[in-house]
Amino acid sequence: MTVIEPILEARNLTTMLRGRAGVVTAVDNVSLSVYPGRTLALVGESGSGKSITCLSMLGLLPSSGKLVAGEVLFKGRDLAKLSQRELEDIRGREIGMILQDAMTSLNPLFTIGYQIEEVFRYHQGIRDRRELRRRAVEVLEKVKIPAAAERLDSYPFQFSGGMRQRVSIAINVALSPDLLICDEPTTALDVTVQLQILRLLGELQRQNNMAVVFVTHDLHMAAQFCDDVAIMYGGRVVESGPIREVFDNPVHPYTVGLLGALPTLENFGRRLVAIPGQQPALSTIPTGCRFAARCPSAMDQCREQYPDWFEWNGGSRRVACWRTEERLHAAMARAPAEVEHE
């Protein structure tokens, strides 16, 4: 296997948010790697810091938030050190991001055409109206909007949710970015439309060998469309690796719990096992492992000290749990052939 360099590497991101409960650490020491042509699923419950992680990387935090530490290496540059002007130049051209709520993510007062044309206007300095229109039609066709030329003068309120999400995708892939962040792009859509949008994203990814970060809480969707996964809990990544390996052999108790709570063919008809308790509020984050309070195998050490990373397979598999080694040994004892096979 040839070594592929990640196109985006986030290292030890830490983001603070100022809120009603005071200043909280919404993203704590998060590291992620995203590779060209591959899709990284960022999985976690709401409030686990998935979206804030993405916004931190693009310099899009609200005024109440601040990236206080970490690096965001994108094509050799640290985005965290760039000015807003420099980021404006990268966003929309080299990095795109699709938002969750398609119904509200387009400006209601401007035509679809204008909102797409802006990308060419600001990034390529094109001013010629006909040229702008031609390009906008091209992009709309790329995202499979029928009768694209006639749709340019429509306003967002004349479009359905699925169509609006297509427009939003069109805006983001207009300049063939190297990285596309999708923040739950299908959560607000009908199930039938969801699949269409996912297929479209997959197709666009293959065309440009695009790297994709796919934020979701839908494990089935992640398993189906993503290559790698990073599981987040309480602002931290607790486990990451190639998605097949992680889902087949989950190690962190939170991952195990998440997968156990899913209906599958094997546990069909049986009662699903929910993880007891709730994710702690960011203002009451414990000192040790964030999951300790809900963990069935927590020890004293877990409550006192945040676990170090345990890595194997050349660092592609990582778990933040004190009992990783113990668990891997047990797994090896149970099914030696399978583990050695790795």
Partner 1 sequence: MLNYLLRRLGQSAVTVLLVTLIIFVIIRLIGDPTHLMLPPEATEADRQLLRVQMGLDRPIVVQYGMYLLDLLRADLGVSYRFSRAALGVVIEALGPTLILTTSALLLAVVIGIPLGVLSAVRRDGPVDQFAKIFAVMGQAAPPFLFSLLYIKLFSIHLGWFPTGGYGRVSNLILPMLALGWYSAAGIMRLTRSSMIEVLDSEYIKLARIKGVPQRAIVYRHALRNALLPVITFTALQFGILMGGAVSVEFVFAWPGVGRLMLDSISNLDYTVVQAAVTIGALLFTTINLIVDVIYAMIDPRIRYA
Shorter beta-carbon distance to partner 1: residue 1 or 109: 109
CA torsion angle 125 130 135 139 (round to 10): 130
Measured over the CA atoms of residue 281, residue 283, residue 284 and residue 288, the dihedral's sign is: positive
Measured between alpha carbons, how far is 54 from 28 in angstroms, rounded to an integer?
Answer: 13
Of 34, 165, 172, nearest in space to 93 by CA: 172
Shorter beta-carbon distance to partner 1: residue 41 or 54: 54
Measured between alpha carbons, how far is 284 from 64 in angstroms, rounded to an integer?
Answer: 19
Minimum gap (Å) between residue 60 Cβ and partner 1: 6
Shorter beta-carbon distance to partner 1: residue 158 or 160: 158
- For binding to partner 1 (CB under 8 A), which residues are involved? 58, 60, 62-63, 84-85, 88-93, 96-97, 99, 101, 104-111, 118-119, 122-123, 155, 157-158, 168, 171-172
Classify each residue of 16-38 as buried b or exposed e, where b means 16 or more C-beta atoms within 10 Å of its C-beta. bbeeeeeebbbbbbbbbbbbbeb
Shorter beta-carbon distance to partner 1: residue 155 or 247: 155
Minimum gap (Å) between residue 103 Cβ and partner 1: 9
Minimum gap (Å) between residue 109 Cβ and partner 1: 5
Shorter beta-carbon distance to partner 1: residue 111 or 216: 111
Chain center to CA of 328: 27
Minimum gap (Å) between residue 92 Cβ and partner 1: 3
Residues 6+ apart with CB under 8 A from 272: 260, 261, 262, 263
Shorter beta-carbon distance to partner 1: residue 120 or 322: 120
Q: Are 28 and 37 in contact (CB under 8 A)?
A: no
Of 284, 285, 261, 283, nearest in space to 271 by CA: 261
Which 3-state string (H, E, C) describes 139-150?
Answer: HHHHCCCCCHHH
Minimum gap (Å) between residue 262 Cβ and partner 1: 30
Q: What share of the chain is helix, strand, coil (3-state, %, to 5)?
A: 40, 25, 40
From residue 111, give the alpha-carbon distance in Å to each of 114, 115, 152, 342: 5, 6, 7, 53
Shorter beta-carbon distance to partner 1: residue 104 or 316: 104
Minimum gap (Å) between residue 50 Cβ and partner 1: 15
Minimum gap (Å) between residue 51 Cβ and partner 1: 11
